[in-house]
Structure 1
Amino acid sequence: MSERRDGARRTLVSARGVHVVTGRVPAVASDIDADDLLGTDAATLGSLDETRVASYLTARRWVRDIVTVRLRRPWSGFEATPRGVKPRLADSTLDVSIAHAGDRLVVGVVEHGRIGVDVELVASVFDQPSLVRRLCTPSERRRAGGLAPAERRAWLTQLWTVKESYAKALGAGLSLDFRQLDGAGLRHRDAVRGVLTPASGASHAKIAVSWVDAAPSCSPSPVRAI
C-alpha cells in the first residue's frame, strides 16, 4: 500500500504479523498533538535538535497509524526511554523499531516477537578498513575484497543494515560482535523468524528488517553509531 501523507510518499508492507513503513521525512512535520502521540516520552522533544524534530514525530506518527489503523489497537503513546535506546510502546505487547538516514525513514511493528529495522545511505565510510574489520567475518571480508569498488560499498552497506537490524531486534546494541555474526546465515538461526532487505526506492539507500522470537532481552543498550 502506498499513500501520500506528511508531504511525502510512504509505503506499508505487512506480512506474517510484521508491518513496515518506508518513506521520506517531510521538511516539516504536519500538525501533531505531541502529548497524545508520544505519551510519557513527550519530554524528549525538548532535548532534540531542531533538524531532528520532523523525523522524530513523523516516525512515531507512522507507528501510531500502524497500531491504530492497521491493527486497530488502543494507543497510549511511547514509554520514556533514554536517547539511543530502542523505543517502547506504553501499555502494549507490540514491539517497535525506527531508523532513519538522510531523508529516508523506516518504522517497523511486530505483533509477536521482536523487530529491528535499519536504513543506511550507501557511502564510502562502509568501505573503510577499520569499519570492515568491525563489521565482517573472515569470509565476508574475502567476498568484499573480490568486488569492484562501487559494488563493494553497496554490499557492505547492505551487510551493515542486516546486522544492525538484527542487533536492534535483540536489544543487544553495542554488546553484539558483528565479526562473529554471519549476515547470510542469520536466516538459519533457530530464534530468527525472518530477515528482509526490501527495496528502498533509491539505489543509494539500503534497508533491512529482522524479527526474532521473544527470547529474554539483553538490558537496554544504545544502538551502534558510525
Structure 2
Amino acid sequence: MPRSEAGGDSRRTLVSARGVHVVTGRVPGADSGFDAEDAAQLLGTDAATLGSLDETRIASYLTARQWVRDIVTGRLRRPWSGFEATPRGVKPRLADSTLDVSIAHAGDRLVVGVVEHGRIGVDVELVASVFDQPSLARRLCTPAERRRADALGPAERRAWLTQLWTVKESYAKALGAGLSLDFRQLDGAALRHRVAVRGVLTPATGASRAKIAVSWVDAAPSCSPSSVRAI
C-alpha cells in the first residue's frame, strides 16, 4: 500500500482554505509501494491508462492521484469513486463528483489541487534553458511582456519567463483550455485584477529553482478582487 499523507512523505500544503486545497512535493522513487489492487481502487475507470504509460511515469501518475484521493477523503470528507477515463492531454476528472482537480509535474516535483466550487489549474516548471528560446517567448508573451523580458539580464529573464508561463498555464488549465489558449493575448499581470480569478505564486526554491502557480476561477472562495498572492 502507498504511504499516506500522515506517513512522513515529502508533501507540504500551499493552500488549504475555503474549499481550495493544493499540495506540492517530490515524487518518490519507482518503488513507491503501490500494489495492483490499490492502484485499481485509486484510479477507478482510469486504471486502463496505466498500460499505456512508460514505466518511469507510473510512480508519478499514481502518486499524484493518491494525493488527490487524500485531499478528497481526508480533508473534504467526500466518498471516493476514482477517476474517469480521459484521453491524454485532457484535464483529469473525478468520477461521480463535482470537485474539480488539476495535476502538474516537472522533473521529480509534483503539484495537485482540488477545489469544491469553481475550477482549478496548477502548474509547476523548473527554471531551465528552454525558457531562453526566442520561439517560446514569442508564443508566451504579449508585446509589453516581451519588452519587459528583453530588459532583464539572462538569469532573471529566464526565471521571470518561467514564472509567467506557470501563471498562464495554470489559468488555461483552470478554464480547461490547455494550450489552445493564445498566451500572446493573455496579460499575466492583468489576471491579478480579475475578480473571478485567484492564484498563488511561489518564489524559486531549492537547487532546481521551481516555479509554481495556482489559479482558480468562477465561484472563487475569496471576496477580495486581488487574484494573485505571493507566498
TM-score, length of structure 2 as denominator length: 0.87
Q: How many residues align structurally?
A: 211
Q: Which residue of 2 aligns with 1:11?
A: 12
Q: Which residue of 1 aligns with 2:42?
A: 37
Q: Following TM superposition, by how much is the alpha carbon of 1:191 offset from its aligned partner in structure 2, in angstroms?
A: 2.8
Question: 2:136 is matched with which residue: 108, 131, 138?
Answer: 131
Q: Which moved more, 1:183-192 or 1:15-24?
A: 183-192
Structure 2: stretches of 5+ with no match in the other structure = 221-231
How far apart in 1 are the matches of 2:151 and 2:78?
Answer: 49
Q: Following TM superposition, by how much is the alpha carbon of 1:90 offset from its aligned partner in structure 2, in angstroms?
A: 0.3
Q: Which residue of 2 aligns with 1:107?
A: 112
Alignment of 1:174-185 (within 5 A): 174-185=179-190
How far apart in 2 are the matches of 1:198 and 1:121?
Answer: 12
How far apart in 2 are the matches of 1:164 and 1:102?
Answer: 17
Inter-CA distance 109–83: structure 2 relative to 1 (3 Å threshold): same
Q: Is the CA contact 1:22–1:200 (under 8 Å) kept in the aligned structure 2?
A: no
Question: 1:22 is matched with which residue: 24, 45, 57?
Answer: 24
How far apart in 1 are the matches of 2:158 and 2:107?
Answer: 17
Q: Following TM superposition, by how much is the alpha carbon of 1:169 offset from its aligned partner in structure 2, in angstroms?
A: 0.2
TM-score, length of structure 1 as denominator length: 0.89
Q: Following TM superposition, by how much is the alpha carbon of 1:175 offset from its aligned partner in structure 2, in angstroms?
A: 1.9
Q: Which moved more, 1:181-190 or 1:144-153?
A: 181-190
SS class of match (2:189):
coil
What is the aligned-residue identity percentage? 83
Q: Which residue of 1 aligns with 2:214?
A: 209
| CA RMSD, 1 decimal | 1.7
How far apart in 2 are the matches of 1:199 and 1:54?
Answer: 26
Q: Deviations over 1:173-209 (max 9, x none)?
A: 13210001010111212431x0111356425110000
Structure 1 ranges of 4+ moved more than 3 A = none
How far apart in 2 are the matches of 1:190 and 1:197?
Answer: 17
Q: Following TM superposition, by how much is the alpha carbon of 1:15 offset from its aligned partner in structure 2, in angstroms?
A: 2.0
Residue type of the alignment partner of 1:27 = G
Residue type of the alignment partner of 1:101 = A
Q: Which residue of 2 aligns with 1:157?
A: 162
Q: Is the CA contact 1:4–1:10 (under 8 Å) kept in the aligned structure 2?
A: no
How far apart in 1 are the matches of 2:204 and 2:10?
Answer: 12
Q: Are 1:198 and 2:202 counterparts? A: yes
How far apart in 2 are the matches of 1:63 and 1:136?
Answer: 32
How far apart in 2 are the matches of 1:74 and 1:140?
Answer: 44
Residue type of the alignment partner of 1:150 = A
Q: Is the CA contact 1:8–1:25 (under 8 Å) kept in the aligned structure 2?
A: no
Question: 1:171 is matched with which residue: 171, 176, 197?
Answer: 176
SS class of match (2:202):
coil
Structure 1: stretches of 5+ with no match in the other structure = 216-226
Q: Following TM superposition, by how much is the alpha carbon of 1:17 offset from its aligned partner in structure 2, in angstroms?
A: 1.6
How far apart in 2 are the matches of 1:65 and 1:174?
Answer: 29
Residue type of the alignment partner of 2:22 = V
Q: Following TM superposition, by how much is the alpha carbon of 1:31 offset from its aligned partner in structure 2, in angstroms?
A: 2.7
